[in-house]
Amino acid sequence: MKGSIKNTVIPGVVAVAAVGIPALFIRLHIIDAYTAQIITLGGVNALLAVSVNTITGITGQLSIGQAGFMAIGAYTSIFFTLDLGLPLAVSTLIAGLITAFAGFLIGFPTLKLSGDYLAIVTLGFGEIIRVILINLKAITGGANGRRITTPLAIYPDLSFFTVTACLAVMLILLQNFLRSSYGRAILAVREDEIAANANGIGVFRYKMVGFVIASFIAGIGGSLYAMVVGFVKPDVASFTKSIDYLIFVVLGGMGSMTGSVLAAYVLSYLQEFLRFLQDYRLLIYPLILIFVMLFRPQGLLGMKELSFVRLAGRLMTLLQRKKTL
């Protein structure tokens, strides 16, 4: 009982502190609006990285079309907010559900493939989504995109609080899901499909579950991106965007949600910090990726997670040892 309470209370306290303290600093102008915007966009990138890691690192399927699902979520939330007048929270939830349904429609015929074949098919679907968005001018505004003015685009403290809170909730829900029987079945499929099938686990079914969950998270991330930036173009569904999110996962560690989040924040800030190099900053990602693949091929955290419960336990042990001495 004590262990379950500790596993709930400590992550909850850390999540509240991670969301509330920086938001307060932004409110008090200790953190300027520019830095707050970078951190907020880092949170959006972290959500997309978690989405990619769910299908790539957890389910074990290589997908490079997640930017397409992000675009669906972004345009859906704009449509329901501007054209139908729904509240932002409702539009974001609907965007996630519609994107999850799109993931189901795309995953049903494609998840029977694996490896490079699945990657090529998801790449094709991402490009199809981008072309469709360009040609649906009545809804998407065509190649010029659509603009939306929301409180999240005006108040940096509110945008940071909303994005970071959504990220924290997604991480908590995913961690609890992975500890459930469904999550363990998905991990079994990732490790060995033949052995999982021999033990009565529906391989295709659990692949679909992972793919739909990843699509839902991408839709939420796309909706938050639209609300924070206030402008969306079909280019957000491009192949290069999907590769960026995949890089976050590779650097953080496939299978490590906290590793993906850490890599997304670091690289998002690094990209802005190196803006004075102009186009030469685009060389930084490949160089970092080369060094990581050479010296740390499993990524920064590998398949491990940052555990604040274990960290708190170690601190308590050290304090007790000092008292005894």
pLDDT tens-digit map of 35-80:
888 889 999 999 999 999 998 888 888 888 888 999 999 999 999 9
Mean pLDDT of all residues in 78-99? 91
Quote the pLDDT of residue 242.
86
**Could you tell me which of 207, 278, 270 has the C-alpha nearest to residue 45?**
270
Phi, psi of 207 (to 5 degrees): -60, -40
**Could you tell me which of 234, 325, 251 has the C-alpha nearest to residue 294?**
251
Q: Name the band, by pLDDT with cuts 50, 70 and 90, for residue 322.
A: low
What is d(CA 98, CA 133) in angstroms, rounded to the nearest whole number? 15
What is d(CA 88, CA 97) in angstroms, rounded to the nearest whole number? 14
What is d(CA 156, CA 227) in angstroms, rounded to the nearest whole number? 12
Name every residue whose Cβ is closer than 8 Å to that of residue 43 and which is 6 or more positions away in sequence.
160, 163, 164, 166, 167, 224, 265
pTM above 0.85, yes or no: yes
pLDDT at 97 over 90: yes
Q: Give the chain's mean pLDDT.
A: 82
Mean pLDDT of all residues in 145-173? 87
Quote the pLDDT of residue 25.
77
What is d(CA 236, CA 66) in angstroms, rounded to the nearest whole number? 10
Contact 271, 40 (CB under 8 A): no
Mean pLDDT of all residues in 7-13? 61
Mean pLDDT of all residues in 105-127? 82
Quote the pLDDT of residue 318.
64
Q: Name the band, by pLDDT with cuts 50, 70 and 90, for residue 1.
A: very low
Quote the pLDDT of residue 11.
62
The string of pLDDT tens digits covering residues 228-249 is: 998 898 888 888 888 888 888 8
What are the tokens at 161?
Answer: 């609080």
Place of tokens 């994107």: 99
pLDDT at 5 over 60: no
40 alpha carbon, distance to own chain's centre: 13
Name every residue whose Cβ is closer than 8 Å to that of residue 302 and which is 6 or more positions away in sequence.
253, 255, 256, 259
pLDDT at 224 over 90: yes
What are the tokens at 159?
Answer: 């945008």
Q: Where are the domains of the chain?
A: 15-239
Q: List 252's β-bridge partners, or say none.
A: none
Quote the pLDDT of residue 248.
87
